[in-house]
Amino acid sequence: MSSSSPAQGLGQRERLVLVLIGVVLAAAVFWLRGGLKPQAPLDALARRSPELSVALANGRPTLVEFYADWCEACRAMAPAMDSLERHYRGELDLVLLNVDNPRWQPELERYAVNGIPQLELFNGAGQPVGRSIGARSAEELEALAQALTQGTNLPVLAGVGAVSPLTAAEAQPAAGDATPGTMAGPRSHG
């Protein structure tokens, strides 16, 4: 005679059904999240990116990209940015700041980000030397990286300009001018 009762057999079947349901749910979540595909270059770059304060203080020039996961131009630039990061590792810091992350709101305001992608360019002393607004080709990004690492003038490209420090009086809006709080935000262009 068997020592198992019908109640014990029913419990085992229920456990087996629960295990099968768990396996099916885990497989569904795995499939919905993209399976084993490699991480997108933009995500990988952002995760490897040093903290902005560290990058600006370590003696290397820095290229900061303000981006968003939903930004087509940002995603299109990601492979070239990844290539730059690998090629200039140890010579140039690439820092990615997601405009949708509230943690970076002070930086969005400080660098007047009102569209993406926006690149902020810094020399080895952490001083701003230029800004690039809009999508950049791999060749343009390479030219910017070369200028930063060699300490030469930025290339002449549409949407790229040098920056100069403002005095406190120059930084204050004139009477009747829009205040920084009323400017369009980087996510306002939809």
Render 86-104 in DSSP notation, one character per residue: HHTTTT-EEEEEETT-GGG
Q: How far apart are CA 166 and CA 128, in angstroms?
A: 11
Enzyme catalytic residues: 71, 74
Burial class (CB in 10 A: 0-12, 13-18, 19+), 77: buried
How far, in Å, are 65, 95, 107, 166 from residue 40 at the CA level?
16, 16, 24, 38
Q: How far apart are CA 25 and CA 178, in angstroms?
A: 53
